[in-house]
Structure 1
Amino acid sequence: MRTTSRLSDRARELDSADPLAGMREKFLGHDDAGVPAYLDGNSLGRPLAATLDRLNEFVRNQWGGRLIRGWDEGWLALPRQIGDELGLQVLGAAPGQCIVADSTTVLLYKLARAAVAAGGDRTEIVLDRDNFPTDRYVMEGIAAECGLTLRWVGADYDGGVRPESVAAAVGPQTSLVVLSHVAYRSGFIADVPAITELVHRTGGRVLWDLCHSAGSVPAELDAWNVDYAAGCSYKYLNGGPGAPAWAYVAARHQNDFNQPIRGWLGAGDPFGMGRDFVPAPGIQRVVSGTPPILGMLAMQDMIALISEAGMDAVREKSVQLTSFAVQAFDEVLAPLGAVLASPRDPSQRGSHITVDHPAFKDVTARLWEQGIIPDYRNPNGIRLGLSPLSTSFAETWTGIEAMAADLRAGS
């Protein structure tokens, strides 16, 4: 009881001292007594209250009022405009290199397929076995389609891919390396600049998946000399269920970007309805079909909120949240047989931690019934996704305390 009281007091102290605490009130449901702890922002972020107004205005006045005229009055430019703002505020990317389109799966295919086409006679794709299934499945498909060989890199269970492991796998036949900035299970932060540089020394290119980092961990895609990147927008970017993904193609690679899914809006003159496909200049050539306007609107509100807070402050809050969660794990979960499956060094950790225990599949179901919502990942892990602008220290403790109480009750 003394530990519980002390950690509860510590959570309240951290919330009181948090300069970003007021941001939480901007999210719908933050005060919902039926959900005392939402710890799954790394899977689906809470909606912002401002998004209600934005969507209502769009449906009533733009879609309902302007009808098809809206395409000529700004809708077609939104994917590039939002992409540029995302690049500026979150990704460290100069204008003209980011665009919103498609799903993460489709963009991973497009970027990887264009990259291996630009790689000439090189025959290998390098990736890690612990990457998110979609990344692995897409690359397996491209390898089969193009007659390429997959070379697999190992990763520590509670860590991720390190430069030395990549160095051992790449060589003169490396066309493309596909990795995640933040590992989806462990939360490990990869050394993007070091890995990118060593791959470039072999003549290969790198595609980075930023699904579990964009909006919570700062990125400097231009400064890191990244070739390609993609990520979703419904996690820390709070775009909503199924919101479209975004792609980054470095300016130096845009001229040789051979679009594998040719659609009319990736053409240079889409309304010319030409007989042959002539790609659009710049980042526009990544696009295929009609952009999902409704699905990308909510991103604007979160990007604006991140801009107001500043990515450095967002990252500082993220480090504090996960550090508190690790402290609480050590004191109330580790004695019950739980195992931390994430890095202890906060500089190597994104905005979620994973805790393993054989009972956690059933524990998660019972927690959800109480409105305490973490994320379960096979074989036996609970991920605690701590979204910096919407998650409090108090609800983090509420969730961890409930996990411990359930384990004690079942022991």
Structure 2
Amino acid sequence: MSEPISRATPARATPAQATPVGATPAPAGERLARRAATLDAGDPLAPVRDRFVLDDDTVYLDGNSLGALSTGVLPRLTDVITREWGHLRIRSWEESGWWTAPERIGDRIAPLVGAGPGQVVVGDSTSVNVFKALVAAVRMAPEDRTEILVDAATFPTDGYIAESAARLTGRTVRPVAAGETAAAAGPRTAAALVNHVDYRTGRLHDLPGITSALHAAGALAVWDLCHSAGALPVSLDADGVDLAVGCTYKYLNGGPGAPAYLYVRRGLQARFDSPLPGWNSHADPFGMAPGYAPGEGAVRGRVGTPEMLSLLALDAALDVWDGVSIADVRAKSLALTDFFLECVAALVPAGRLQSVTPAAHAARGSQVSLRCAGAAGVMRELTARGVVGDFRRPDVLRFGFTPLYTRFADALRAARVLADVLGEATGETHPTEGTP
């Protein structure tokens, strides 16, 4: 449901907004510029921006599709290519730790999703891992549980794979709204595949509550974390999640096509029956036995030879998380999206936009999606003017806020350019004071 963007009350009040009694209020642009400067000056994550390759000519608000390059990736890949591959060659599988990289890097991701060690393995694409997780979940369910619940607004691939998993296991798929999953689960439900954050709207769904309801109904919970991990706290172990998947090229900044990850709760690992039993997950991979015997633990999620270059690029990218508190990330994410919505309300011509992202913090991920007539053309013009977001048909502008490198000044600049583009289309103007 779309929500009107209110001009009445700013999303988040700070002392910097106070106006002395009897003083003339500052124009909107000037007030917002002062607030952006104050918020950036007090940002505990501000130094982390220097860990990324960025330019001040562009406001990059598409980290929910592809995260920025971190400064440590190029030297790491240079060493991998010239020394590990170029000099050591085949010896690097042992001497450089290539063979154990999927589990080792999985253990680096684990704290970002609230998982203990030994439960996350990195490799393959998100789509492949969704297939592994969902089929394995259904195989663990009794045969009389004949349906798979799927988020009706899911990213299309998740839906396609759920249909394939259902055909493979003799089940049927029932699409339901993510928020209705808990109520829809019943004695016929084998498993549910749910997105933690909706990719179109940025709505954050109730992972603990839905997981608990699925378990009460005797079903397993499979979560897609693509738009949440790295942007907000996730507590897979504490919330009892059974299986989860996620990509690493969005908020984890692993690079285009970076390998995804698969979480299998420790208590289920012995029962995890992968539909893709490759030699890398065999108990004795170099025994080359004709029969398959699964390995122990998270290694069961592996299939074939790891994609080493992209896997080790991801390893280097994860260095940016050293010393970073996920609580600080979440606090800044909410503050950024609040401030952006406040700037849009103050600067954009009235009636041109509607937010489809929930106003409530408990239901918001780390993006703002705005419904706009002519959205495709608007986004093209924004990009041409140095504000990079993206567009989803038919009429949604998406702006992803990556707290590790997005500044409050960036949020203001994006709103100002958006106001310019829409104002030019209507002939309206907006305040120009205090442009950062």
Query: Could you state the TM-score of these two structures normalised by the residue count of structure 1?
Result: 0.94
- Counterpart for residue 151 of structure 1: 174
* 2-structure distance, mates of 1:301, 1:68: 21
Q: Deviations over 1:64-110 (max 9, x none)?
A: 1210111122101111001012112x011111100101000000001
1:318-349: CA deviation from partner (whole Å, max 9, x where unpaired): 11111111211222236142001001012321
Query: Is the aligned partner of 1:199 residue 2:206?
Result: no
Q: Is the 8 A contact 1:306 1:314 kept in 2?
A: no
For residues 285 and 98 of structure 1, what CA distance do their matches in structure 2 show? Answer: 10
1:73-152 map, 5 Å: 73=95, 74-88=97-111, 90-121=112-143, 122-152=145-175
Q: Does 1:283 align with 2:305?
A: no
Any conservation in 2 of the 1:336–1:404 contact (CA below 8 Å)? no
Distance 2:340 2:311 in 1: 32
Picking from 10, 31, 53, the partner of 1:28 is 53
- Matched-pair contact (CA < 8 Å) for 1:38–1:373: yes
Partner in structure 2 of residue 53 of structure 1: 75
User: Structure 2 counterpart of 1:224, which letter?
Assistant: D
Q: Indicate the residue corresponding to 2:225 in structure 1.
A: 210
The secondary structure found in structure 2 opposite 1:134 is: helix
2:206 maps to a residue whose letter is: D
- Shift, 1:307, TM fit: 3.4
Higher mean C-alpha deviation, range 217-226 or range 182-191? 182-191
Structure number having the greater helix percentage: 1
TM-score, length of structure 2 as denominator length: 0.89
1:47 deviates by: 0.6
- Distance in 2 between the 1:146 and 1:275 partners? 24
Amino acid at match of 1:375: D
In the alignment, structure 2 segments of 5+ residues that lack a partner are 1-25, 427-436
Given that 2:349 and 2:419 are in contact with CA atoms closer than 8 Å, whether structure 1 keeps it comes out as no
State the match for 1:157 in structure 2: none
Query: Counterpart of 2:345 in structure 1: which amino acid?
Result: D
Equivalent residue of 2:420, what SS? helix
1:375 aligns with: 390
Q: How many pairs are equivalent?
A: 399
Instruction: Name the residue aligned to 1:10.
Output: 35
Q: Quick one: which amino acid aligns to residue 181 of structure 2? A: V
Counterpart Cα distance in 2 of 1:397 and 1:144: 49
Task: Give the Cα separation in 1 of the matches to 2:239 and 2:322.
Answer: 21
Call closer, same or farther: CA 1:314–1:302 in 2, change over 3 Å.
farther
AA of the residue aligned to 1:359: G
Match of 2:334 among 316, 319, 335: 319
Secondary structure of 2:148's counterpart equals strand
- Alignment check: 8 A CA contact 1:107 1:245 kept: yes
C-alpha distance in 1, partners of 2:253/2:287?
36
CA contact (8 A) 1:267 1:278 kept: yes
Contact 1:97 1:249 in 2 (8 A): yes
1:268 matched to 2:293: no
In structure 2, distance between residues paired with 1:135 and 1:383: 20
Aligned partner letter, 2:291: D
Tell me the distance in 2 between the aligned counterparts of 1:386 and 1:61: 36
Q: Secondary structure at the match of 1:168?
A: helix
| 2:66 maps to 1:44 | yes
1:353 to 346, 368, 392: 368
Aligned to 2:244: 229
CA distance in 2, matches of 1:283, 1:271: 18
Q: CA deviation at 1:29?
A: 2.0
Structure 2 counterpart of 1:147, which letter? G
**1:211 Cα deviation after fit:** 0.2
Q: Which residue of 2 aligns with 1:250?
A: 265
Q: Which residue type is aligned with residue 42 of structure 2?
A: A
Counting only pairs closer than 5 Å after superposition, residues 381-396 of structure 1 correspond to structure 2 as 381-396=396-411
Q: Percent identity?
A: 40
Q: Distance in 2 between matches of 1:175 and 1:358?
A: 41
Q: Distance in 2 between matches of 1:256 and 1:333?
A: 54
Secondary structure, aligned partner of 1:75: coil
Contact 1:119–1:204, Cα closer than 8 Å, also in 2 = yes
- 1:290-316 CA deviation, whole Å, 9 max, x = no partner? 011111223333433223121111111
Q: Which range moves more in the overlay, 54-63 or 326-335?
A: 326-335
CA distance in 2, matches of 1:345, 1:330: 16
Superposed counterparts of 1:301-316, under 5 Å: 301-316=316-331
Instruction: Kindly provide the amino acid, as one letter, of the partner of residue 251 in structure 2.
Output: Y
Residue aligned with 2:99, SS: helix
Deviations along 1:237-283, one digit per CA (max 9) or x if unpaired, are 00000000001000111111111112110111110111111111111
Structure 1 residue 63, shift from structure 2 partner: 1.1
1:337-348 correspondence runs (5 A)? 337-348=352-363
Contact 2:278 2:304 in 1 (8 A): yes
Q: Which moved more, 1:213-222 or 1:292-301?
A: 292-301
Q: Is the 8 A contact 1:215 1:306 kept in 2?
A: no
8 Å Cα contact 1:216-1:315 kept in structure 2: yes
Distance 2:78 2:317 in 1: 17
Match of 2:21 in 1: none
How far off is 1:167 after superposition?
Answer: 3.0
Q: Does structure 1 retain, via aligned residues, the 8 Å contact 2:349–2:423?
A: no
Question: Which range is displaced more, 288-297 or 142-151?
Answer: 142-151
